[in-house]
Structure 1
Amino acid sequence: MSASETLMVEEVPFPLHITATNNPLSLLGHGVTDIEIHFLHIKLTAIGVYLDPDVVTTHLQQWKGKGESELAENDGFFEALVSVPTDVVIRVVVIKEIKGSQFGVQLESAVRDRLAAVDQYEEEEEEALEKVIQFFQSSNYLKKHSLITFTFPATASLVEITLTSTTEGKEESKNLRVENENVAKMMKKWYLDGPNGVSRTTTVSLAHNLVALLSN
């Protein structure tokens, strides 16, 4: 893959186009997750969001003419984006090594809180999230450059999670399929939730690129 076919996000290359469930998707948003500790700015992960531009713009015409800053702050816009019937792939690349259990608990907690807020956290959701925690706990550490891929097929109410890492030059992957519609939706919203999402830079990037697409 040539440099022209990738975008560097914090020294992490993201392909501009990928194919998921046989459908071509484009990189329409990118950013990082980060924290500040004792005035130090620490970047944790790099993120790339892939969608079908044609499907997205077709289903977001009501937002045409809106400004980038307006959309970046609009919960309704991101709620509409989450509901667009397109495959969504979110690639998360580890920048700062983290315990697998820590990443899993962060994800589980964010999804659980969102489900509880809309009274959708039942036994089925709890069981699904427990599998997510166990999946990440099985990796002691998510080392730098480990890749976590969340695939949300347009035709199914589920999420497929793939964790890919390289140990001593050998690439290893493992997968988890979460067949719970509520959990899948809230997991997607964790990354695509506008001002309330896990990565502000990613949602601002999405707003910027979608404004450009909608103006064509």
Structure 2
Amino acid sequence: MGTEASDCGSFAVAGMELEGTVFPSTLNPPRSRKPLFLGGAGIRGYDVNGKFKIFTVSGVYLEPEAVNFLAKRWRGKSVEELSSSNQFFDDIITGPFDRASQITLVVPLDGKEFARLVVKSCTEILKKNGLYSQKEEKECEELKKFFEPINLPPGSTVFFTYCTSGHLMVTVSDDTSVPEVENLAIDCRNLMEALLASIIGENGVSPAAKLSLASRMHDIMNR
């Protein structure tokens, strides 16, 4: 499936393409209760020697039920109001619906470094919110251990599924195809929510993905 629009019941959404990576309009990640729709996508990069370098492209997918849940509070708000509201993104992170993120590599990265960056961000968020206990520490180490032997060349993808049960599903693919079974399951709601917050939360690593999410959800909620 490419960037063509898909019907998600009472609304239709289109896919996106960024840096040669296709984010399909819908995604069927492992353990999700039903197909998820593309909420938004954006690049992640840094300034390297005065030049902006893109490292990954990320997409965020939501269960269709997210639309009605979010519309109760956010319908009628402008894109600017949504994109600047921490509460809007918190509602996406903690809402009673499945979510997923697709993180596709633009440049090569070994799994150990990928996990170090992810866990560092998650740990900072957990500690800031007073949620970093022995359980969270143990699951962060489990995440790092899983990624240690993995190589992530350009075009490879890490899928995270954030289940309403509080389970975080981790799936690695050589391309952007979604494997049927997850590689790792972590039972820790705090870590699950911190990981998604590291992408689209208050200091999320992809402002472009946050803006895309706010813009697309604005259009969907106000149809």
TM-score with structure 2 length normalisation?
0.87
Same amino acid, percent of matched pairs:
24
Question: What pairs up with 1:59-98 in 2 under 5 angstroms?
Answer: 59-60=69-70, 61-98=72-109
Question: What pairs up with 1:8-157 in 2 under 5 angstroms?
Answer: 8-20=17-29, 21-53=32-64, 55-60=65-70, 61-139=72-150, 141-154=151-164, 156-157=165-166
Distance 1:44 1:2, change over 3 A: closer
Cα distance, 1:7 vs structure 2: 2.4
Letter in structure 2 aligned against 1:59: F
Provide the secondary structure at the position in 1 that maps to 2:77: coil
Conserved 8 A contact 1:164-1:174:
no
Cα distance, 1:52 vs structure 2: 2.3
| Segments ≥4 residues shifted beyond 2 Å | 1-7, 19-22
Conserved 8 A contact 2:2-2:25:
no
Q: Which residue of 2 aligns with 1:185?
A: 193
Q: Unpaired segments of 5 or more residues in structure 2? A: 6-14
Distance 1:8 1:129, change over 3 A: same
Cα distance, 1:93 vs structure 2: 0.5
Provide the secondary structure at the position in 2 that maps to 1:144: coil
Q: Which residue of 1 aligns with 2:203?
A: 196
Letter in structure 2 aligned against 1:124: K
Structure number with the higher strand fraction is 1
Q: Which residue of 1 aligns with 2:4?
A: 4
Q: Which residue of 2 aligns with 1:159?
A: 168
Provide the secondary structure at the position in 2 that maps to 1:196: coil
Letter in structure 2 aligned against 1:176: L
Aligned equivalents of 1:81 and 1:14: distance in 2? 19
Count of residue correspondences:
207
Aligned equivalents of 2:79 and 2:149: distance in 1? 41
Aligned equivalents of 1:3 and 1:72: distance in 2? 23
Provide the aligned C-alpha RMSD in A: 1.8
Letter in structure 2 aligned against 1:184: M
Distance 1:41 1:213, change over 3 A: same
Aligned equivalents of 2:124 and 2:3: distance in 1? 40
Provide the secondary structure at the position in 1 that maps to 2:183: strand
Distance 1:93 1:203, change over 3 A: same
Cα distance, 1:162 vs structure 2: 0.7
TM-score with structure 1 length normalisation?
0.89
